[in-house]
Chains A and B, each alone.
Chain A
């Protein structure tokens, strides 16, 4: 059958007057863990919202599991974990999951299954407001796993976790992928790139690289994913990427953000030159 979970063509998203994502193409293969990596503010969340079907889209199309994103029957088949833990603070962990399971139409036993897989059995009867940030995030993840969706869209699921827990979570993701689930996982921690099957590097609302962890390192000759990413950004900024990729309006976005992260200031000047060169 189809071998793509997500396929986006010429996806364009505007927020107010700004074009946040401009004519983006994207493919997510089935049954793989695809990492969506990029600095904060690069448009990862917006892209994920478009895939889940809760984002107003200005143009282009997104197909998820062979259906237009946001179709009613996809709501059973796509699990979405937002960046902040979207759970009810004044309910226990179990009550949260029980409610979401009912909404999802998942069997009751599913609550125990996801509690166990996210290692939350010990916290099941605790009120969500008493949980640590990492635990609350895991409840949110557990809720997304209810009903065993075919596609899991996880927005920064490992943020703020200690290395052990992060490792456990990536083991869980691998397990889910082996059972046939497709996972689209965003992160701004470049080290996590090596745990993915495919990598999408995102910057300023565009995918600047679609690769595998191995090719990323081999292609750039860098020692770490972080270095490789910087290398790609530098080349991207210098305009080595073929023109006409639809990045024109991305330049005013987020360059401040990237600079704020300690990027050398030639970064911004680079944009100016590129823009000038286009005119």
Chain B
């Protein structure tokens, strides 16, 4: 590992994305559009106030997962990854380089989504907006880290898209959006309690209602951070210099 090579990789990924304006537009706008749609659906009800924070967790997470897994799959398939691994690039440089680049994008994306949800859709945040950012960014980074991991198991673009339901849908179903987790069957509740997205949803709920103290929220951020680190470590272990 070498910070220069990590940053060179981050810079390279960002330049690649800069050369693709449509992707930038999609990254920044799509989560906000979806949040807007949800707000519109529940226009006459109080539901959006309840699930709006969860939407902030959901959409950036999904978008970052998809973008990251496809970007790294492209590296594997185009032969550039093999070239890099025959060069003095550490596996950690590669993974961290990507995480930093997409993390930076996630910050911007989250800012747009939070701004849109609060200013345009009227989502009320009782707690600290700063903490809201922290949680939302941790959540987008989680999408990035899991996307990196998923791409290690996918050989084709078709497979990587199929991995989205595998990695993402159970987390949505068990995260407490459809039914509060304490009303789930016991086994599912336990599983749900260990999934990272559940904690992102809990934390964002807590920020928006202001019912919990900061320690409660930081504990959840820590839990998500552990998942991110774990996914990055497993992801970099799956990068092999020697392949069959």
| A residues whose Cβ falls under 8 Å from a Cβ of B | 15-16, 52-57, 70, 72, 75-76, 78, 80, 82, 84-91, 95, 99-100, 102-105, 127, 143
Kindly state the separation between the CA atoms of A48 and B9 in the bound complex, as whole angstroms.
26
Interchain CB contact under 8 A, B86 and A91: no
Interchain CB contact under 8 A, A54 and B16: no
Asked if B79 lies at the interface with its beta carbon under 8 angstroms from chain A, I say: yes
Closest to B75 in A: A88
Interchain CB contact under 8 A, A91 and B82: no
Residues of B1-18 whose CB lies within 8 A of A: 4-5, 8-9, 11-12, 15-16
Closest to A89 in B: B78
Closest to B244 in A: A56
In the complex, what's the smallest C-beta–C-beta distance from A36 to chain B, in angstroms?
A: 17
Residues of B218-244 whose CB lies within 8 A of A: 241-244
Interface string of B78-89 (1 = CB under 8 A from A): 111011111111
Closest to B85 in A: A54
Interchain CB contact under 8 A, A78 and B86: yes
Asked if B19 lies at the interface with its beta carbon under 8 angstroms from chain A, I say: yes
Kindly state the separation between the CA atoms of A85 and B83 in the bound complex, as whole angstroms.
10
Interchain CB contact under 8 A, B80 and A103: no
Interchain CB contact under 8 A, B242 and A53: yes
Q: Give me 12 A-to-B residue pairs in the complex whose CB atoms sit less than 8 angstroms apart, sorted by A's number.
A: A16-B244, A54-B86, A72-B88, A82-B83, A86-B80, A86-B82, A91-B15, A95-B12, A99-B11, A103-B8, A104-B87, A143-B83
Asked if B46 lies at the interface with its beta carbon under 8 angstroms from chain A, I say: no
Interchain CB contact under 8 A, A76 and B86: no
Kindly state the separation between the CA atoms of A143 and B87 in the bound complex, as whole angstroms.
11
Select which of B8, B80, B243, B244 is within 8 A of A88 by beta carbon: B80
Q: Which of B8, B85, B86, B243 has the most CB of A within 10 A?
A: B86
Kindly state the separation between the CA atoms of A54 and B11 in the bound complex, as whole angstroms.
26
Interchain CB contact under 8 A, A75 and B88: yes
Interchain CB contact under 8 A, B83 and A80: yes
Kindly state the separation between the CA atoms of A151 and B80 in the bound complex, as whole angstroms.
19
Which residues of A are found within 8 Å of B186, using beta-carbon distances?
none
| B residues whose Cβ falls under 8 Å from a Cβ of A | 4-5, 8-9, 11-12, 15-16, 19-20, 78-80, 82-89, 241-244
Select which of A57, A84, A103 is within 8 A of B87 by beta carbon: A103
Which residues of B are found within 8 Å of A91, using beta-carbon distances?
12, 15-16, 19
Kindly state the separation between the CA atoms of A127 and B89 in the bound complex, as whole angstroms.
24
Which residues of B are found within 8 Å of A143, using beta-carbon distances?
83
Interchain CB contact under 8 A, B87 and A100: yes
Interchain CB contact under 8 A, A102 and B8: yes
Closest to A84 in B: B79
Q: 9 more A-B contacts (CB under 8 A) besides A86-B80, A99-B8, A99-B9?
A: A57-B242, A75-B88, A76-B88, A80-B83, A85-B79, A86-B78, A88-B16, A102-B4, A103-B89
Interchain CB contact under 8 A, A90 and B19: yes
Interchain CB contact under 8 A, B5 and A102: yes
Select which of A16, A53, A57, A127 is within 8 A of B86 by beta carbon: A53
Interchain CB contact under 8 A, B241 and A54: yes
In the complex, what's the smallest C-beta–C-beta distance from A95 to chain B, in angstroms?
A: 6
Chain A to chain B: the 6 pairs with minimum beta-carbon distance, closest first: A86-B79, A102-B8, A99-B12, A75-B88, A86-B83, A90-B16
Which residues of A are found within 8 Å of B87, using beta-carbon distances?
75, 100, 103-104
Interchain CB contact under 8 A, A103 and B16: no
In the complex, what's the smallest C-beta–C-beta distance from B163 to chain A, in angstroms?
A: 23
Select which of B11, B19, B82, B244 is within 8 A of A127 by beta carbon: B19
In the complex, what's the smallest C-beta–C-beta distance from A65 to chain B, in angstroms?
A: 14
Q: Which of B16, B79, B242 has the most CB of A within 10 A?
A: B242
Q: Which of A70, A82, A86, A104 has the most CB of B within 10 A?
A: A86
Which residues of B are found within 8 Å of A57, using beta-carbon distances?
242
Q: Which of A56, A91, A102 has the most CB of B within 10 A?
A: A102
Kindly state the separation between the CA atoms of A100 and B9 in the bound complex, as whole angstroms.
9
Kindly state the separation between the CA atoms of A85 and B4 in the bound complex, as whole angstroms.
25
Kindly state the separation between the CA atoms of A15 and B244 in the bound complex, as whole angstroms.
6
Which residues of B are found within 8 Å of A56, using beta-carbon distances?
242-244
Which residues of A are found within 8 Å of B88, using beta-carbon distances?
72, 75-76, 103-105
Select which of B19, B82, B244 is within 8 A of A82 by beta carbon: B82
Kindly state the separation between the CA atoms of A89 and B16 in the bound complex, as whole angstroms.
9
Q: Which of A52, A57, A84 has the most CB of B within 10 A?
A: A52
Kindly state the separation between the CA atoms of A236 and B186 in the bound complex, as whole angstroms.
70
Interchain CB contact under 8 A, B242 and A54: yes
Closest to B8 in A: A102
Kindly state the separation between the CA atoms of A226 and B141 in the bound complex, as whole angstroms.
56
Interchain CB contact under 8 A, A70 and B82: no
In the complex, what's the smallest C-beta–C-beta distance from B26 to chain A, in angstroms?
A: 15
Kindly state the separation between the CA atoms of A87 and B208 in the bound complex, as whole angstroms.
46
In the complex, what's the smallest C-beta–C-beta distance from B112 to chain A, in angstroms?
A: 23
